[in-house]
Amino acid sequence: MLQNEIRTQKLVIGIFSILLTVVLIIIAGVEAKRTTETKPVIEVSGINKRCVSCHTERGIAVKAIDQWKESQHAIKNIGCIDCHKAEQGDFDAFYCPDSDILVGKHPTPKDCAECHKQQVEEFAQSKHAHQFWVIKNDDRSIFEPTIATRNGCEQCHNISIVWPDQSVGECDACHPKHTFSRAVARQPETCGECHIGPDHPHIEIYLESKHGNIFRAKEKQMDLSYSSKDLKKIPIEVPTCTTCHMDGNETQPSTHNVSARLAWESQAAWSYRTVWLQDKLGDWKVKRGRMESICKSCHSPDFVEVYFLTADLVNLQYNEIRRSFVYWVKKLQKNGLIKELEANGKKYSDIVLNGWDEEPEYLMYHAWHHEGRRFRHGAIMMGADYTQWHGIWELQNDLVELIRWAAERGDPEAKKWVNSTHPSKFMPYAIYDIPGNAWGINALSNKVQFLYVNYKDYWDRVYQNVKYAYEKGLLSEEQWQLWLKRYNNKEHYLGTKYNVDSVYAYYQQLNAIDTKAMNEQVVNMQLPGKPFYEPGFGFMVEDNKAKSKDMVRRKEELNNNRQGTTTGGSVK
């Protein structure tokens, strides 16, 4: 009896011990395995399960499902029908052909707003949502066939699409479906899908800036998928486009209103201070303040303020250059040298905007829409090459072209300009300037400029212009004070009060050696073998004429023979 009892005991203890050990270690193992999984488990249920299994089975938009599985939506159990839901009568409602599910073909911002209300509202109040291109594109529609518009203008400007349900915008222009990834939206190339090319090369400007350069070098170490809500520190080392224009930092909330931090309408034909939704967003100074708060996450306040003041003066300078273009085109028009397009009493090449059939209009269009923007945007976003070679250089070039065109057609003022040999002729407009730049004091570079050297009242004239701009509200009080601080101590900021002659002399010596080498190697050299062209070339001597005729004849014969072989000799 007792032995039995002991045996039972041993058996029970043995069985349960082994069972517990095996089962619990397996469970602990399964749990340990789960800790190494970084991908969340996606649970598909209800109608979504039907959508996913049927689509997967039939191979329709399977990739979209995979993308969705990568999304935060999937993790949070927001499935197909949550965005694609529809009611009878909706503009995009249709019955899925293989089920009885009513589906919305186009989830619009109205659908997104069910969860992302604030973002959708902010977007709708931004210039991204403003279809000014439609309002103003009647001119373009005569220059380009509309079919080109479908894949051209409309593709980018669809971001401001106005849907039949009255919602505005295209969220997936930046947050691509179906991952709706934050990281993709922050990737500079996402903005660069549209902000690229000759008219607003923003991605190119960004990539040539220090920001873009560091980004490219370190992008693999940066995780762009962070949330920028709740006034958190910017977690990446350098900004991408969204960091400055949309994301938040310690002081600025993030916003989907890309216009909330812009102080210039610098894409427009004239640079003017923004008044966009001023009652809600504040005036340009408030908007600039927002942008500066972001910049000051990384940069010193002085650098930021001087940098922006300089870029603002570039915007103002552009207006003066533009004024010259407008002056000449208007004058040429008034004198009947160029004509506007007209139909049914309506003019089709707006003097300020466009016009393509005559050289001066074309030049003026480019001076605004291409190089004029590059000049200004390069200055605002640290794209030196775009301010310089793709900007001011081409602006100046086109202005010279325009005046020369007028001179060739007999305009006396233009002729006078062409005949002038004075270097100041290239600056037929008023000038803005600032002593020095934001990066440091260059004790050498401001000593030789023609205007600085030859016009003693240069800074007085500039002073008057800057003051005038300030008085007209185009510069803020703080900016004016900052400018004055530099103006009053301009010898310091221009570096002219520092003697660096010895350094200058040293580099001049090096330069002289270079020049000498160039002269010796190339300039003062003449090859002994004569060139083949000689003045008067084109008149053939008789002997050569005969030779030439003979060559032509033989060539023709050869051609005929070749044709004969390929067509089976049926050609006569």
To other proteins, the closest distance from the beta carbon of 234 in angstroms equals 16
9 near other proteins, judged by CB under 8 A = yes
Q: How far apart are CA 463 and CA 558, in angstroms?
A: 77
* Among residues 4, 7, 23, 49, the one that binds other proteins under rule CB under 8 A: 23
Which residue is it, tokens 């007028």? 406
CA-angle at 179, arms to 203 and 208, nearest 5°: 15
Cβ of residue 249: shortest distance to other proteins, in angstroms?
Answer: 18
Comparing CB distances to other proteins, the nearer of 47 and 78 is 78
Cβ–Cβ under 8 Å, residues 208 and 383: yes
Q: Which stretch binds other proteins (CB under 8 A): 24-32, 139-147, 294-302, 449-457?
A: 24-32
| Nearest distance in Å: CB 23, other proteins | 6
> Of the two residues 178 and 322, which places its CB atom closer to other proteins in the complex?
178
Which of 4, 7, 34, 423 lies at the binding interface for other proteins (CB under 8 A)? 34
Per DSSP, the residues of 29-95 read: HHHHHHHH--SPPP---HHHHHHHHHHHHHTSSHHHHHHHHTSHHHHTT--HHHHHB--TT-TTEEE
Of residues 7, 10, 136, 216, which one binds other proteins by CB under 8 A?
A: 10
Question: 25 or 510: whose CB is closer to other proteins?
Answer: 25
- Whether cis (ω within 30° of 0) applies to the bond prior to 130 is no
Which is nearer to other proteins, 30 or 448 (by Cβ)? Answer: 30
Q: Which amino acid is at 455?
A: Y
CB of 71 to other proteins, least distance (A): 13
Burial class of residue 412, CB neighbours in 10 A (0-12, 13-18, 19+): exposed
Q: Does 37 bind other proteins (CB under 8 A)?
A: yes
- 28 is an interface residue for other proteins by CB under 8 A: yes
In this complex, which beta carbon is closest to other proteins, that of residue 82 or of residue 139? Answer: 82
Residue number with CB closer to other proteins (35 or 567): 35
In the complex, minimum distance from the CB of residue 41 to other proteins, in angstroms, rounded to a whole number: 6
- Please report whether residue 38 would count as binding other proteins according to CB under 8 A: yes
Calculate the CA 110 to chain-centre distance. 28
Rounded to the nearest whole angstrom, what is the least distance from the CB of residue 187 to other proteins in the complex? 21
Give the shortest CB-28-to-other proteins separation in angstroms.
4
Site residues for other proteins, 113-152, by CB under 8 A, read: none
The enclosing H or E element of 559 equals: helix 542-566
Among 4, 7, 42, 162, binds other proteins (CB under 8 A): 42
Q: With binding defined as CB under 8 A, does residue 19 bind other proteins?
A: yes
List 43, 66, 237, 520, residue binding other proteins (CB under 8 A): 43
Closest CB to other proteins among residues 27, 571 = 27
Q: Which stretch binds other proteins (CB under 8 A): 4-12, 251-259, 290-298, 444-452?
A: 4-12
What are the phi and psi torsion angles at 264 (to 5°)?
A: -125, 145
For residues 306 and 436, give the distance between their C-alpha atoms in angstroms, rounded to a whole number: 10
45 or 488, CB closer to other proteins? Answer: 45
At 347 the three-state DSSP class reads strand
Strand partners, 343: 346
Largest Cα span, the chain: 141
- The answer to the question of residue 29 lying near other proteins (CB under 8 A) is yes
Contact criterion met (CB below 8 Å) for 234 and 249: yes
Whichever of 42 and 418 has its CB closer to other proteins, that residue is: 42
Decide whether 3 or 166 has the Cβ nearer to other proteins: 3
| The residue type at 144 | E
Least Cβ distance, residue 12 to other proteins (angstroms): 5
Question: Do 428 and 417 contact (CB within 8 A), yes or no?
Answer: yes
Q: Which stretch binds other proteins (CB under 8 A): 31-39, 132-140, 178-186, 376-384?
A: 31-39
Distances (CA, A) of 280 to 245, 257, 260, 425, 469: 17, 12, 9, 45, 25
CB 397 within 8 A of CB 372: no
Mask for 51-90, x = binds other proteins (CB under 8 A): ---------------------x--xxx-------------
Q: Is the peptide bond before 116 cis (omega within 30 degrees of 0)?
A: no
Site for other proteins in 198-237 (CB under 8 A): 227
Q: Which is nearer to other proteins, 25 or 512 (CB)?
A: 25
At position 315, the amino acid (one-letter code) is N
Question: Alpha carbon of 328 to those of 292, 332, 364, 412, 414: distances in Å?
Answer: 38, 6, 9, 12, 9
Cα–Cα distance for residue pair 462/206, rounded to 1 Å: 30
- Residue 291 tokens read as 């942008």
Q: How far is the CB of 5 from other proteins (least distance, A)?
A: 8
CA geometry: angle 263, 266, 267, nearest 5 deg: 135
How far apart are the C-alpha atoms of 542 and 169, rounded to whole Å?
A: 75
Q: Is 4 in the site for other proteins (CB under 8 A)?
A: no
Among 4, 36, 499, 567, binds other proteins (CB under 8 A): 36
Number of residues that bind other proteins (CB under 8 A): 37
- Residues interacting with other proteins, by CB under 8 A? 2, 5-6, 9-10, 12-14, 16-17, 19-21, 23-25, 27-38, 40-43, 72, 75-77, 227
